[in-house]
Amino acid sequence: MDGPAKAQARRLAAAVSPATEIFVWSRTAIWLAALLAAAWFPAGRRSGLGADLWARWDSGWFVLVAHHGYASAEGAPAFFPLYPALVGALGRVLGGRYALAGLFVSLAACLVAFELLWRLAAPRLGRAGAWRAVLYLAVFPTALFLQAVYSESVYLALALAAFLLAERGSWPAAAVAAGLALLTRSTGIAVVAGLAVLAWPERRRLAWLVLAPVLFAAFPLVLARQRDDAWAFVGAQGEWERHLSVTGPFGGIWDGVRALGGHPVDFTYRHALAVNAESLAFLVLFLALLPLVWRRFGAAYGVFALVSLAVPLAYPADDFPLLSLPRFGLVIFPFFLVLAQLGERPRAHAAILSVSALLLGVAIVQWVTYQWVA
């Protein structure tokens, strides 16, 4: 290889950040693990090994909304519009292959999220700390949702973009990113709350944040047109037996502790016990990380993490109060900044990595065999 060719190869290698490298090998490893699990374990149902492998559970709702809109089913308004809109647009380009479109959208957003987390973490933690933050996100026990036909990747990318843009002084763009996050998940309110703390007390910055609810107004307008009910999303969680606790997030915590008992001793009890115990363990972890986020990275990140936890905790499910909490924690990116700091010690790094990878492997098997994951 001559001199110019070598120089071009070096420039190309330098252009690939550690975040992109982690994205490539982690998504490949998860896909290969899923294929191995599909070949090894009987699933009880047959599905493809391509894009369909990553379409389970709520994926069907996203595809339904992407294809038919919000008039398609009673529970559809629970799924906020940005992700299914992206899937629907790309799915039509791909000739109606909506699961494939969802996979492409999720993977693209996952790559963006990894790169943004790297850029946000590097000034605070250095290159080694930023590498750990992205790595811990990539192997988190519910990280498979970052490539599934779910909205996690898009929401995470938008939340990170909002904070990065705000910290760099681009408040109009940050407000737009926050508004798009609101259109992706109900917890987008946590992004707005965090940016409000970051903007305080500058009135001009706070004024820009009005763009977020203005953008969100598109959702009730769409619901009014398609369902004649602009506020259908408010009570849609009732389709999944979720209810607003009168004591807010404290009600969810109490219900989660209480759910460890009170079931008949049979297979259903053991399954319920395992699901509730896992969710409660993740809640303990998140609550332990919360004050560290506040102390080490400031009130804006602390408020974002706090509200991100409080919203799902305030809506516990009847039989599984903390249902999906491990997945909800996946997008609370300040947790990974704290874990990256804690992982400076080799033993802590090894513990975080090994436990995460082990639980991720279990989740992949559950996912492939159509058992509920987060």
Rounded Cα distance, 269 and 248, in Å: 27
Find, among 79, 157, 82, 136, the residue nearest to 335 by Cα. 136
pLDDT of residue 3: 58
Question: b/e per residue, 312-332, with b = 16+ CB within 10 A?
Answer: bbbbbbeebbbbbbbbbbbbb
pLDDT of residue 239: 73
Average pLDDT over residues 140-164: 97
Find, among 352, 343, 298, the residue nearest to 128 by Cα. 343
Whether 145 contacts 329, CB under 8 Å = no
| Domain map (residue ranges) of the chain | 25-30+49-368
Read off the tokens for 201.
């007390």
pLDDT of residue 4: 62
Whether 146 contacts 152, CB under 8 Å = yes
Read off the tokens for 174.
């940050």
126 pLDDT exceeds 70?
A: yes
pLDDT of residue 269: 57
pLDDT of residue 270: 65
Phi, psi of 242 (to 5 degrees): -95, 145
Higher-confidence position of 233 and 41: 233
- Residue 260 sits at the vertex; the CA angle it makes with 254 and 263, to the nearest 5 degrees, is 120
Read off the tokens for 196.
């409000």
Rounded Cα distance, 142 and 327, in Å: 6
| Percent share of the chain, pLDDT over 70 | 91
Find, among 210, 232, 237, the residue nearest to 221 by Cα. 232
Q: What is the mean pLDDT of the chain?
A: 90
3-state secondary structure of 242: strand
Whether 138 contacts 22, CB under 8 Å = yes
pLDDT of residue 13: 47
Query: What's the pLDDT tens digit per position in 310-360?
Result: 999 998 887 788 889 999 999 999 999 999 999 999 999 999 999 999 999
Rounded Cα distance, 60 and 105, in Å: 15
pLDDT of residue 286: 97
pLDDT of residue 263: 52
Average pLDDT over residues 216-230: 94
pLDDT of residue 43: 62
Rounded Cα distance, 282 and 325, in Å: 7
pLDDT of residue 11: 52
Average pLDDT over residues 3-7: 59
Read off the tokens for 104.
């492409």
